[in-house]
Structure 1
Amino acid sequence: MDYPLLNAFWTMCLIFLWVMWLILLFRIIGDIFRSHDLKGWGKTGWLVLVILLPFLGVFVYVIARGHGMSDREIAQAERQQKQLQEYLRKTVATGDDETSRHADSLAKLAELKNHGDITEEEFQKAKAKILA
């Protein structure tokens, strides 16, 4: 097995470039589907170009629409964050009253302890009383 170090380095570079190419290709395909300003035929045209002529399609897409890729990604992340916050707000709001009262009491106790108004021992006693 004769495989010099330079050949191993060259192989690692090619694998790295191949993986980066796949990442770029999938990001562009995701951006095509994420884009709201493209309609059905526009998305189909870009997909056909990117899939049938991948190098040319990717480079043309990056030149033509690359400036908005980060904006669309940020907008998607903000929508997901808003959905998560709404879900959490709805889920927490549906908790029973006793649990929410305990949580409020524990939060107030923790705040008092953090401000130094009560000691750790007093905090533990009050916490045990609330949880009992």
Structure 2
Amino acid sequence: MDFWSFFWLLVWSFFFVAYLMMLFQIFGDLFRDESLGGFAKALWIVVLILFPLISALVYVIVRGRGMAERTMKRNSEQMAAQEDYIRTVAAPRTSSVEELTQAKSLLDSGAITPEEFAQIKTRALS
């Protein structure tokens, strides 16, 4: 195999992998899209199988903006869920009894005033 044959093999391999990645994105978007009906999804899949390159380009042109919006929405929902999970695991909320016990020991040691203790007490009991 000479240099140019190897070069063109690499070029075509790159385009084939790029096309497959685009196709997987399109199929994922089709199956996640709640606004598109089942018949329309089936029609898009048939057209993608019969005319792969042209239909993939048409899909990206016609539905690209919505595709990007759905992806951004899904990513933000996943990020919010992950942050909520991290908050619950990283800083578990102490019980009100423990909070009152700590506040009472701080009051007894003179680190906080009776007014601050009253604020902590009302917050812990609410």
Q: TM-score range by the shorter chain?
A: 0.5 to 0.7
d(CA) in 2 for partners of 1:96, 1:73:
37
Amino acid at match of 1:38: L
Question: Who wins on radius of gyration, i.e. which is larger?
Answer: 2
1:95 is displaced (CA, Å) by 7.0
1:44 is displaced (CA, Å) by 1.9
TM-score, normalization by structure 1: 0.62
Question: Do structure 1's residue 57 and structure 2's residue 55 form an aligned pair?
Answer: yes
TM-score, normalization by structure 2: 0.65
User: Sequence identity of aligned pairs in percent?
Assistant: 34
Q: RMSD in angstroms over aligned alpha carbons?
A: 2.2
Aligned length: 96
Larger mean CA deviation between 71-80 and 60-69 belongs to 60-69
For 2:6, the equivalent position in structure 1 comes to: 8
For 2:66, the equivalent position in structure 1 comes to: 68
Amino acid at match of 1:79: E
For 1:28, the equivalent position in structure 2 comes to: 26
Structure 2: stretches of 5+ with no match in the other structure: 100-126
d(CA) in 2 for partners of 1:83, 1:46:
32
1:56 is displaced (CA, Å) by 2.7
The within-5 A match list for 1:1-132 is: 3-92=1-90, 94=92
